[in-house]
Amino acid sequence: MNALEPLQIWLLMAAVAYIAFMAGRATANSGDKESRESRALRVQESAERTFSEMTSSTKDDVDRLIRDGKKIDAIRLVREHSGLGLRDAKLAVDWRQRMIKN
């Protein structure tokens, strides 16, 4: 059996990496619709609870920051007043942004 040339080895490694990447993408979003809907409902409930516990002036400040395009500042403000982590505060601000636009 003949040894592979360096170019052939490189092409083989690239092909294997590409196949692995595509297989990962194909299975990444394989969660069922119900679990996506239940996650979305949990995010909505958490965001509603977060904003219901805020004072009206804080809510107004968050809304103003969202309308002004200062989403990072809005997230920071939500974190300061709710004690949420970064991810949860971002999800709450994203939810609030959708509510403002409707």
* Rounded (5°) CA angle 75-73-90: 20
88 touches 48 (CB < 8 A): no
- The pLDDT confidence band at residue 33, using thresholds 50, 70 and 90, is low
pLDDT value for 27: 75
Q: What is the pLDDT of residues 6-15, one digit of tens each?
A: 899 999 999 9
Q: What is the pLDDT of residues 75-89, one digit of tens each?
A: 999 999 999 999 999
pLDDT value for 35: 81
- The pLDDT confidence band at residue 30, using thresholds 50, 70 and 90, is low
Percent of the chain with pLDDT over 90: 67
- Listing DSSP states for 46-96 in one string gives HHHHHHHTS-HHHHHHHHHHHHTT-HHHHHHHHHHHH---HHHHHHHHHHH
Mean pLDDT of the chain: 89
Residues 6+ apart with CB under 8 A from 90: 75
Residues 6+ apart with CB under 8 A from 19: none
